[in-house]
Copies of this chain bind each other. A is one copy, B any other.
Amino acid sequence: MSFSAPFPPIRSVAVLGAAGVVGASWGALFAHYGLEVRAQDPAPGLEERVRSFAARAEPALRALAPGAGPAGRLTFHSNPAEAAAGADWAQECAPERVDVKRALLAELDRAMSPGAIIASSTSALLRSDIAADCACHPERVIVAHPFNPPHLLPLVELVGPASDAPAVLRAAEWLRGLGKHPVILRREAVGHIANRLNSSIYREAVSLVEQGIASVEDVDAAMVHGPGARWAVLGPHLLYHLGGGPGGIRHYLAHLGPSQVRRWADLRTPELTEELQARVIEGVEEAARGRTIEGLEAERDAAILALLLARRGGT
Contact = CB atoms under 8 A, between A and B. Distances in A.
Interface string A268-301: 0100100001001101110110000100110110
Contacts of A223: 194, 197, 231, 235-236
A28 interface: no
Nearest to A314: B306
B305 A249 contact: no
A204 B196 contact: yes
A193 interface: yes
Given A200-B203, A241-B284, A277-B253, A233 B303 contact: yes
A185 interface: yes
Nearest to A154: B225
Interface string A210-232: 01111111111111111111111
A222 B155 contact: yes
A204 B257 CA distance: 14
Interface residues of A, number: 109
B288 A205 contact: no
A237 to B, nearest CB: 5
Given A197-B201, A197-B205, A238-B220, A232 B264 contact: no
A214 B235 contact: no
A284 B237 CA distance: 7
A196 B219 CA distance: 11
A315 interface: yes
A245 B21 contact: yes
B241 A199 contact: no
A302 interface: yes
A223 B304 CA distance: 14
B227 A198 contact: yes
A202 interface: yes
A208 interface: yes
Contacts of A297: 242
Contacts of A220: 234-238
Contacts of A193: 208, 213-214, 218-219, 222, 226
Given A213-B193, A241-B288, A307 B208 contact: no
A53 interface: no
A51 interface: no
Given A193-B214, A201-B200, A234-B296, A153 B257 contact: no
13 contacts: A155-B221, A184-B218, A193-B219, A193-B222, A197-B222, A198-B236, A217-B237, A224-B233, A232-B303, A249-B281, A260-B272, A305-B314, A309-B310
Interface of A: 21, 124, 147-148, 153-155, 157, 181, 183-187, 189-205, 208, 211-246, 248-250, 253, 257, 259-261, 263-267, 269, 272, 277, 280-281, 283-285, 287-288, 293, 296-297, 299-300, 302-311, 313-315
